[in-house]
Amino acid sequence: MADDSTTTIRATFQTREAADLAVEHLVQQHGVSRPDIFIQSASDRNTTGSVPSGGDASHEEGARRDAPLAGEIEVSADIASNQVAAVQRSLGDAGALRISSH
Helix (H) or strand (E) holding 91: helix 84-93
> How much of the chain is in helix, strand and coil states, percent to nearest 5?
35, 25, 40
- For residue 52, give Cα distances in angstroms to 15, 18, 19, 56, 58: 7, 11, 13, 5, 9
Residues lower than pLDDT 70 in the chain: 1-3, 46-70
pLDDT recorded at residue 71: 76
